[in-house]
Each structure stands twice: as C-alpha cells, then as structure tokens.
C-alpha cells in the first residue's frame, strides 16, 4: 500500500502534524458531527451570489460559520465522490474511481489498512447514523467498494443512541435530482408553495443556448436549490428541537455540480467547485471566509480532528484546522468511467489557473451516455449543433474531438471558454501544472493510469443492462449500443 502525500517534503509535515494536532477538542465534551450532503448542485446558493436563490438557512450557516470559497470535489459524480468522502482517500487511490463499479459479480475491496470514517467514529464511541432529509429513512450511500452497512452505521436516527452518547450523523438530500423527475419536482413545488423562480429572469451560463427547454430546466434547478434550503431548515429545526444543535458541528456541502452538459461528470468549475461550510455557534462563534484550496475528502480528516479522534497516517485527507503546513497548494480532481461511458480526465486547480488533461482526445466530450442523453436539454443541444444554431462558445462541448490539454486563467475567464494551452506565453505555467499532475498521479497512487479490466467492465455492464431490461426496454437497447461503441473505440485505440 502506497502512502498518501504529493511531495516528499510535504509528507513529513503531513504524517507528523496530523497526529500532533488531531485532538482539537480532546479536553472538552465531544461534539456531535453532522454532515449535510446535497446531490447534483453547483455553487448557486444565495451567499454565493445567485440572485434567484432564496436560501436563508444555508445563508445563515455561511454568515455565522466558516466558508471555504475554494472547495473542490475530487470526483464529479456521485459514487466516486462518496467513496472518497467516506474514506478520506482519493477515489483513484482505492480503486473506486469508476462510477457505479464493483456492483456485479466482480467486487472491489478496500485496501486492507483503509477504514471508513463511520467505523472510526464507532470505534471512538460515537453513535453513527445516516438518513435522508426527513431523518426517518435511510440516506444515500452509493460506495463503489464492498461493505456491510451495519458495520458502518448503527441506524437512521441519532435519537436511538444511548444517553449522552455523541453522534456522527449524515443527511443526504436529493438536491438537483429533484428536477427532471415529475414526482420529485412536484414535491419541491408544493414545498415552495408554488412560489417558483421567474423564468424570464433566468441567466444561463454563456456556453448554454437560451432555448425554452434549457431555460426551463435551469429554472427547475434553481427551484431545487430553494427547496433544498427548506429541507436544510427542517434538519436544523429537528436538531434544535431535540436540544442537540448547540453541541453539534454542522458541515454543509454538495457532492458535485449540476447534472448538465458541462457540469456533473466534467472537471470545469460547474462540475467540481462546491459549497463547503462549517458551522457551530459553540465551537466557532466568529464567522470567517477562508480562501485556501481544500478537497472534499478533507471533510473526513476535519471531522475526526474536531471529534478528537486521531487521523490515520494512511488517510489522504487533511484537516482544515491542521495549520499552515497542511494547506493544499493545489487540488486535483478526476473523472473516469461513468456508467457505460469510458473516459479519463484529470485537472489541477492552482492559484489563478485550471489545467485539464484529456486522455481520450479523439473522442467527443459528450460521448454516448444513456444517463446524460436522457436529460431534456441534451437532444436540444445536439439538434441545435447539427443545425449550426450554436455560437462558438456554445459549441465547445459538442465538438467531435477535444484537445489533450486545456488551460484556463479563471480571473479573466471564469466560464473556462478560452483555452490558452497552445499559446507560447503560457508554456511555463503549462509545464509546471503538467508536472504537478504527473507527480500527483504517481505519489497518490492513481489507479486510473491502468485501463479498466474488460472483465470488470463487463461485470458492471451486466448489472446495469439487466436492470434496464426490466424497467426500460428502450433505454436498454440504447445502453447496449453505447457499450458496443465503447468497445469498438477501444479496439481502434481511439
């Protein structure tokens, strides 16, 4: 088993400093640790400047808590994000980097020295639970490795713990998944008393066309943001009513960005830049806004740190309260296979720059994908592109091939539409970021460097196709065709 840091010089600090600083509240009553994790939602809350957001509860957490403005997901899709989150390890380091993998005959086992965060809390005497927004049903897990939920979680509700026992609770909200599903969106509309955002006031990113279907989809997304805030309010009220909020530290974050053409599954800001807030009136009475880079896996180490639980030396996460030597000079994110669609993309976010490397430049950005192509905006985007009705910026994601490298200067190009990787004046920063990524891949143990085994791919595809065959025969046929395309391109070395 490899060790976890990026550079040898940082490794010494990391291994030693984490253990020296790991008991922030060791001499105080142990706090409850609460995670509120939201699906499919980018940085579109009120405190982040979204003008149509009505998010008073999240905004209050941000106003009174610690806001990390440069928080990034190490993976832009649910199961890989959650596999990393629950272990404090890069998904690429534990073999969990392919979305919804290990679900068939062939399984993925965690490295023998890696233990999940809930298990570490259990060993420390915490009651561990996981729920949805209601607090009454099981919450989303979606890990790509083999595990027994009973070994991770005692139950659903912290109310079932022993008297005075501290708890580690996770709440998983549907977020952006509320849209595109009639029943879920109807629930959101009802919860909002049908006070929906004004469609005429929607401002789309410049890389999406202002088409009625695209506009309506984005409006439903903002409605979902607003309803998510109501659900957050209910959780906070429940904690307050049970007289446990005052002794709790709340983490609020999303698991990656909006499910859109350039968001979820991709490494642009829309896909990986996430809200990340820590709130506790008891432990953090003074609000702060922090600018340093953090990775979402740092949630794991920080939670252990605040609970006074030693952070294992194998863990790649870093406590955000570990001191200056723990600060990340950059963050790396990774996208690999998503369902049937084979891809491999890596990014480095450092200073004012974003570097992206595409390992399959001869393939289109928007490869055949049953999940993405089922979204209402995708047929519209493809149709407008075929008809030549998209401008140059709106056509970027529809290209039949892509550059091997992309480089964006975010202060001057926040939408990441001007790739400057081919400019002579950018050679120095390009070489630097390229080298950082290559070193990270080696020292973090990036298993994505090894192509996925055909047997594992087939094992996962068998599960997916059988499910679709039962539930949606039409989608099953398309899924099969997409698999054939993936295998054909692989045989051609594309």
Distance CA 181, CA 184 (A): 5
Number of domains in the chain: 1
Distance CA 402, CA 358 (A): 8
* Mean pLDDT (the chain, rounded): 94
For residue 169, the tally of other CB atoms under 10 A from its CB is: 27
Range of the domain at 235: 8-329
* Cα dihedral sign, 241-244-246-252: negative
* Cα dihedral sign, 264-265-266-267: positive
In 162-272, where do the E strands start and end?
167-173, 248-254
Pairing state between β 127-132 and 167-173: parallel
C-alpha angle 392/225/303, rounded to 5°? 110
Name the residue with tokens 């709130």.
279
Question: Residue 10: pLDDT above 70?
Answer: no
Task: Specify the pLDDT at position 9.
Answer: 33
Q: Which two tokens stand for residue 39?
A: 């699906």
- Confidence band for 29, pLDDT divided at 50, 70 and 90: confident
Q: Answer yes or no: is 3 within a domain.
A: no
Distance CA 451, CA 303 (A): 34
Distance CA 87, CA 116 (A): 5
Q: What does the buried/exposed string (b/e) look like for 215-239 if buried means 16 or more CB atoms within 10 Å of the residue's CB? A: bebbbbbbbbbbbbbbbbebbbebb
Q: Answer yes or no: is 463 within a domain.
A: no
Residue 88's nearest CA partner among 348, 319, 338 is 319
Q: Give the contacts of 470 (CB within 8 A, at least 6 positions apart).
A: none
- Confidence band for 1, pLDDT divided at 50, 70 and 90: very low
For residue 116, the tally of other CB atoms under 10 A from its CB is: 23
Task: Specify the pLDDT at position 324.
Answer: 78
pLDDT in tens, 129-169: 999 999 999 999 999 999 999 999 999 999 999 999 999 99
Task: Specify the pLDDT at position 398.
Answer: 97
How large is the average pLDDT for residues 340-366? 98
CATH for 139: 3.40.720.10
Q: Answer yes or no: is 214 within a domain.
A: yes
Task: Specify the pLDDT at position 312.
Answer: 97
Q: Answer yes or no: is 229 within a domain.
A: yes
pLDDT in tens, 249-308: 999 999 999 999 999 999 999 999 999 999 999 999 999 999 999 999 999 999 999 999
pTM of the model: 0.93
- Confidence band for 19, pLDDT divided at 50, 70 and 90: very low
């Amino acid at each position: 088993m490899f060790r976890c840091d990026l550079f040898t010089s940082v490794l010494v600090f990391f291994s030693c400093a984490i253990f020296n600083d790991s008991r922030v509240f060791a001499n105080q009553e142990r706090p409850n640790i609460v995670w509120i994790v939201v699906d499919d939602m980018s940085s579109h809350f009120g405190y982040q400047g979204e003008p149509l957001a009505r998010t008073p509860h999240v905004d209050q957490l941000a106003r009174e808590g610690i806001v990390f403005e440069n928080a990034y997901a190490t993976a832009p899709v649910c199961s890989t994000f959650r596999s990393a989150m629950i272990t404090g390890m890069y998904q690429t380091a534990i073999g969990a980097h392919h979305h919804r993998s290990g679900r068939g005959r062939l399984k993925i086992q965690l490295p023998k020295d890696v233990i999940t965060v809930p298990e570490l809390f259990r060993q420390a005497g915490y009651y561990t639970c996981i729920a949805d927004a209601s607090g009454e049903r099981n919450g989303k897990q979606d890990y790509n490795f083999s595990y027994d939920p009973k070994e991770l979680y005692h139950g659903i509700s912290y109310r079932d713990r022993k008297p005075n026992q501290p708890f580690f609770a996770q709440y998983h909200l549907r977020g952006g998944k509320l849209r595109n599903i009639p029943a879920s969106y109807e629930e959101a509309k009802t919860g909002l008393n049908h006070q929906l955002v004004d469609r005429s006031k929607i401002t789309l990113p410049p890389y999406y066309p202002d088409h009625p279907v695209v506009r309506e989809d984005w409006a439903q997304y903002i409605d979902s943001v607003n309803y998510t805030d109501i659900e957050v309010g209910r959780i906070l009220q429940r904690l307050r009513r049970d007289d446990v909020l005052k002794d709790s530290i709340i983490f609020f974050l999303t698991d990656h960005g909006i499910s859109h053409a350039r968001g979820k599954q991709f490494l642009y800001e829309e896909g990986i830049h996430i809200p990340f807030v820590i709130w506790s009136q008891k432990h953090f009475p003074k609000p702060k806004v922090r600018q340093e880079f953090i990775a979402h896996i740092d949630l794991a180490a920080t939670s252990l740190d605040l609970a006074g639980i030693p952070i294992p030396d194998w863990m790649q996460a870093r406590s955000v309260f570990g001191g200056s030597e723990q600060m990340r000079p950059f963050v790396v994110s990774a996208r690999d296979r998503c369902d049937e669609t084979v891809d491999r993309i890596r990014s480095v976010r450092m200073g004012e720059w974003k570097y992206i490397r595409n390992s399959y430049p001869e393939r289109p950005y928007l490869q055949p994908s049953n999940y993405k192509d089922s979204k209402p905006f995708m047929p519209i985007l493809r149709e407008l592109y075929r008809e030549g009705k998209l401008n140059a910026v709106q056509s970027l994601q529809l290209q039949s091939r892509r550059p091997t490298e992309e480089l964006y200067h975010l202060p001057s190009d926040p939408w990441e539409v001007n790739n400057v990787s081919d400019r002579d004046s950018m050679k120095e920063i390009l070489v630097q970021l390229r080298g950082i990524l290559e070193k990270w891949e080696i020292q973090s143990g990036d298993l994505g460097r090894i192509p996925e085994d055909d047997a594992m791919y087939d094992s996962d595809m068998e599960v997916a196709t059988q499910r679709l065959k039962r539930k949606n025969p039409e989608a099953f046929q398309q899924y099969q065709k997409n698999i054939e395309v993936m295998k054909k391109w692989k045989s051609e070395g594309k």
